[in-house]
Structure 1
Amino acid sequence: MSHIRSLKNQLSLRINSFSSKSSQNALTSKNKTHLLISKGGNYSTIYSNTTRKVRADTKINSSTIVSSNPNPNNNPNNNTISDINNNSIKKYLNEPIKLIVVPISKDKIFLYYKHADSFLNINSKLIKYETILTKKATKFWNNMEKSSKNINRKIVGTVNRLLNRINWTENSLITIPSESYILKRVSSTENNMKITLQEYLRLKKQSTSANVATTTELKLNPIKVYYPGSLITPKQIVKDCNELWKDGLKQHQKNIITCLITLPLTLPLAILPIIPNIPGFYLLYRLYCNVKAYLGAKHLKTMCNEQNGFRFKFVDLKEYSAIFNESEHLQKKNFKLLDEETLARIVDKLEVQEIKGQLTKAIRQEKSLKENNTETKKKKTK
């Protein structure tokens, strides 16, 4: 009897040992599955221990994993689209320097360069003087607009009408600051840093000099270009950007020369104390705008030139694309001209209310141009 009891005890110990090893293996198997998930596994790996059938070639992101224990409630496929889109919008909003593409018509875009204030070269004396002068000019113009005098109201109305006739592409180029105004994001083998244009050129010259031995390789961070992929392609954006800077350099150089020639002709009006030299102020303002647009075109040219180390990183913002997919007339095959109702939704979604007026001007100019072209064609057919 004692011999039989001893055999039973040994058998019981072996069974317990086997059970313990099985549970350890199961735990290890779960941990391995979680490791595969965190490295970008697929649905077939995640649900290998379940009866749920999922496509094996469907990749997932580790950020969508809620728990390492797979069950239908934690299925990444059940995550709402809004959560994914909110993440992309948050990344867009947190990007300190970006280019935003707004399609105005089938073959024209408004390019908006948006940057955080922390990337402005505050040590530049030119920026300081420009800020002071623009504040004074803005104050003067605001006083003119608020004035109750008929003469001032007529002047404001005339100037606004003249400004509304200026091609909207100028407004797009003006949003692109001079290259020297913005700090550059540079990655090197040692660290990441923000430096001025002059510092970047100096370091680049040192790194390429045959006399200076250095192991530090400078690399400019790419500028992200946000666009609606449902309506326009990166190839078309690059084409439009090249046309924008080429036309901009040519046109605004010509306008600068014209302003410089005609501006001295308004000096006699400055002698008269009764009538303000409005033509002189207007030409001075136009000179300023053309210089800004010209510098913007030069900066855009540099950004488009890959040989200078600049490159674009195109980002198709899904919520932005969704705005154009919701209406049939805004879809790629039917799109002709952006409407003001859709524009209001775009500026709210992208949080670019500061350029709503310029975009509205662009839409109205393009609409007027198309109407004039239609009337011209009708007259020719008659």
Structure 2
Amino acid sequence: MRLFVIPISTRQALIYARPLRRGPSQAPSIHEKITQKAAETWAKWEEADKGWKKHLVSWGNRVQQRIPYQEWGLKSIPSLESARRVDESHGTKKVDVLFPGNAIRPEKLRTMLQAIATERQDLHRRRMWLSLLVTPLTIPIGLIPLVPNVPFFYLVYRAWSHGRALNGSKHLEVLLERDLLNPTSHPGLEELYARRVSYALESTGVGKPISEMVEEVEKSDDRLLLRMKDAKKLASILEAPDLALEAERAIIQVEEELKTQTKKEGEDGTSDKKST
């Protein structure tokens, strides 16, 4: 398994685990079979031209876009048990963590990963159990003929999603506790971020030394670093096709957050001027 830490802005980063490669003799788990079946069913529904399937897919895609990118990132990390089923030696050897050294200071990477691993654990645990507790209340809706029990399936999905994110965060925490992470600044990421940091901070030149560039990133306010077209570049650089979608989702969410923050600060500034 390999972990990637992708700075989306100067203050926010996406963590992503490249999917484990299962050996030809290893049978998929029950969880993987269910997930695959659900994905195939959803793909068929996406082909519908009209009717409740089309409306459900449209609504479902919007819901997924609103799920925080942090949750998607943690979900990409398999549980420790799942990783061990694929590789028995997992948990005893180092795991590479690739990141751009000119956007994240290596000495601070561990602190960042510790925060990613622990900050949302309570949230995912609470919402997983809440979804499971509320799910039985939706069962009567399933008695209505020809109407899919959307609330039931939504709550089951959210419970599963929070559970996956919780397991991923615990796995990352174990790797940190056992000192099994091997941070490595990736040359391809450095090249991409040299241009993006230079553009975002304006005063920073592309050819600046890594130590100076990362220092300016740390001193700056929160600014978006990546553009939508960078998502596919990242996937290509790191040889992780599924990363493109996760990066796009993170870029959209962080950009919206920063715009909202800027708008709020502008409104607060206007209010302060009026009060004086």
TM-score, with structure 1 as normaliser: 0.61
Moved more, 282-291 or 332-341: 332-341
Structure 1, unpaired ranges of 5+: 1-96, 186-193, 201-219
Q: For residues 137-148 of structure 1, what are the structure 2 equivalents within 5 Å?
A: 137-148=38-49
Q: Which amino acid aligns with 1:133?
A: I
Paired residue secondary structure (2:192) = helix
In 1: Cα distance, 2:253 partner to 2:95 partner: 29
DSSP 3-state at the match of 2:242: helix
- AA matched with 2:191: A
CA distance in 2 between counterparts of 1:292 and 1:164 reads 17
The partner residue of 1:254 within 112, 126, 134 is: 126
Q: Equivalent residue for 2:256?
A: 368
Aligned-residue CA RMSD in angstroms?
Answer: 2.4
* 2:199 corresponds to which of 286, 307, 329: 329
Compared with structure 1, are the counterparts of its residues 261 and 118 closer, same or farther at alpha carbon in structure 2 (3 Å cutoff)?
A: closer
Q: Which has the higher contact order (CA 8 A, sep 6+)?
A: 2
Question: Aligned with 1:310: secondary structure?
Answer: coil
Contact 2:127/2:162, CA 8 A, preserved across alignment = yes
> What amino acid maps onto 2:50 in structure 1?
K
Aligned pairs (5 A) from 1:226-241: 226-241=98-113
Task: Give the number of the structure whose alpha-carbon radius of gyration is greater.
Answer: 1
1:163 matched to 2:64? The reply is yes
Secondary structure of residue in 2 paired with 1:362 = helix
**3-state secondary structure, aligned to 1:195:** coil
2:77–2:168 CA contact under 8 A, matched in 1: yes
Partner SS, residue 117 of structure 1: coil
Matching residue within 95, 98, 101 for 2:2: 98
The one-letter amino acid paired with 1:130 is H
- Give the drift of 1:364: 0.6
5+ residue gaps in structure 2?
Answer: 205-212, 271-276
CA contact (8 A) 1:270 1:277 kept: yes
**1:172 maps to which residue?**
73
Work out whether 1:341 is the aligned partner of 2:226: no
Query: After the TM superposition, which residues 33-112 of structure 1 pair with which residues of structure 2 at under 5 Å, given as runs?
Result: 97-112=1-16
Q: Matched residue pairs, number? A: 251
User: Is the contact between residue 128 and residue 163 of structure 2 (CA under 8 Å) also seen in structure 1?
Assistant: yes
AA aligned to 1:356 is A
Partner of 2:165: 293
- With over 3 angstroms needed to count, the CA separation of the structure-2 counterparts of 1:120 and 1:299, relative to structure 1, is farther
- Residue identity over aligned pairs, in percent, reads 22
Alignment match, 2:29? 128
Deviation at 1:319, TM superposition (A): 2.4
Matched residues in 2 for 1:119 and 1:169: separation?
29
CA contact (8 A) 1:120 1:181 kept: no
SS in structure 1 of the partner of residue 8 of structure 2: strand
Preserved contact between residue 234 and residue 244 of structure 2 (Cα < 8 Å)? no
Give 1:377's match in structure 2, choosing from 238, 252, 265: 265
Deviations 1:33-87 (CA, angstroms, capped at 9, x unpaired): xxxxxxxxxxxxxxxxxxxxxxxxxxxxxxxxxxxxxxxxxxxxxxxxxxxxxxx
What's 2:180 paired with?
311
Partner deviation per Cα, 1:110-135 (whole Å, 9 max, x = no partner): 11122542479947xxx621122112
Aligned-pair distance for 1:261?
Answer: 1.6
Distance 1:121 1:169, change over 3 A: farther
Matched with 1:195 is 88
- Report the CA distance between 1:196 and its aligned residue: 6.2
Whole-angstrom distance in 1 between the partners of 2:78 and 2:24: 10
SS in 1 for 2:3: strand
2-structure distance, mates of 1:302, 1:181: 14
Q: Does 1:224 align with 2:96?
A: yes
TM-score (norm 2): 0.83
Contact 2:234 2:243 in 1 (8 A): no
Determine if contact 2:3/2:16 at 8 Å carries over to the other structure: yes
Task: Output the CA distance in 2 between the equivalents of 1:377 and 1:354.
Answer: 35
